[in-house]
Structure 1
Amino acid sequence: MADSLSTSLLVLVAMVIAMAALPWGLRRWQLRRQVTQGVVQVQTQVLGAVAIGPGQRVVTVQVQRGDAMACLVLGVTAQSIQCLHVLPDAPAASSGATADFAQALVTEQGKD
């Protein structure tokens, strides 16, 4: 009786460990597959977000792929995401970046 109980408990513990390790193993497999296929990683960083209404916001995102870097101004709603403007050669994320972005936005509005 005790032998079958310990065997059942051991099988149960093994199944729980396998279920916990499955997402980790799948992620490792996906990363290894991307490296072998030469997929370029894209790094993103949210620089700021402003709520303009219920469920609506304007988000500034810095995107880096390899050596290329750009700053995207996105309009985000519950149903969609739309690119409003692209600023190439985005500055590093700092307090000066928001001032540069504000100046660039004023310059763009003056052109219209």
Structure 2
Amino acid sequence: MAEGGPAGAGLAQTLLLVVLFVAALSALPWLIRRLQQRRIGLLPGAAGTPSRVLSSVAVGPQQRVVSVEVGPAHARTVLVLGVTAQHISCLHTLPAASFAAEVAAAQSVQAAQTVQPLQPDAPRHATS
């Protein structure tokens, strides 16, 4: 058994290296995802501000109109995008403040139209 000692140590060292290599390979996707999130600003303490989808409307089977708020906090911009399965195109760009004002105005008009009282029907005479 005295001769098996150095060979057993070499085998244990090789096994340890294989286990560390597999652990490093399995941790790599998590590390890459974490670095990408930090880069685009999704983690606390990261630089930048994340984008935010404000609305999305389907206009066809694989076609949407999407409004997205992007940019730094002091200069947010709203992009209106046309999105298909193959292409994304910018349809309109406007400052976030003016977009918020337009949305508020549209909501107040819509609320005023739905609150209008219904006209009473003319009295009906029962016919027997």
Question: Could you state the TM-score of these two structures normalised by the residue count of structure 2?
Answer: 0.52
Alignment correspondent of 2:126: none
Q: What secondary structure is seen at the aligned counterpart in 2 of 1:67?
A: helix
Contact 1:62 1:90 in 2 (8 A): no
Alpha-carbon distance in 2 for matches of 1:6, 1:61: 55
Alpha-carbon distance in 2 for matches of 1:100, 1:21: 45
The within-5 A match list for 1:27-38 is: 27=35, 31=39
Change (3 A) 1:41 1:27: same
What value does the CA root-mean-square deviation take over the aligned residues?
3.4
Deviations 1:19-58 (A, max 9, x none): 2444527938x95xxxxxxxx7352111121111121111
Alpha-carbon distance in 1 for matches of 2:57, 2:22: 43
Q: Which amino acid in structure 1 is aligned with residue 16 of structure 2?
A: L
Q: Which amino acid in structure 2 is aligned with residue 88 of structure 1?
A: P
Structure 2: tracts of 5 or more residues without a match: 1-6, 40-46, 107-128
Q: Which has the higher contact order (CA 8 A, sep 6+)?
A: 1
The within-5 A match list for 1:14-53 is: 14-23=20-29, 24=31, 27=35, 31=39, 41-53=48-60
Q: Which amino acid in structure 1 is aligned with residue 13 of structure 2?
A: T
Q: Structure 1 stretches (4+) deviating beyond 4 angstroms?
A: none
Alignment correspondent of 2:93: 86
Q: Which amino acid in structure 2 is aligned with residue 78 of structure 1?
A: A
| Percent identity of paired positions between Structure 1 and Structure 2 | 44
Q: What secondary structure is seen at the aligned counterpart in 2 of 1:48?
A: strand
Q: Which has the higher strand share?
A: 1
1:9 maps onto 2:18 in alignment: no
Structure 1: tracts of 5 or more residues without a match: 32-39, 104-112
* Number of positions where the alignment pairs a residue of Structure 1 with one of Structure 2: 89
- Work out which of the two has the higher radius of gyration on C-alpha atoms and give 1 or 2: 2
Change (3 A) 1:86 1:58: same
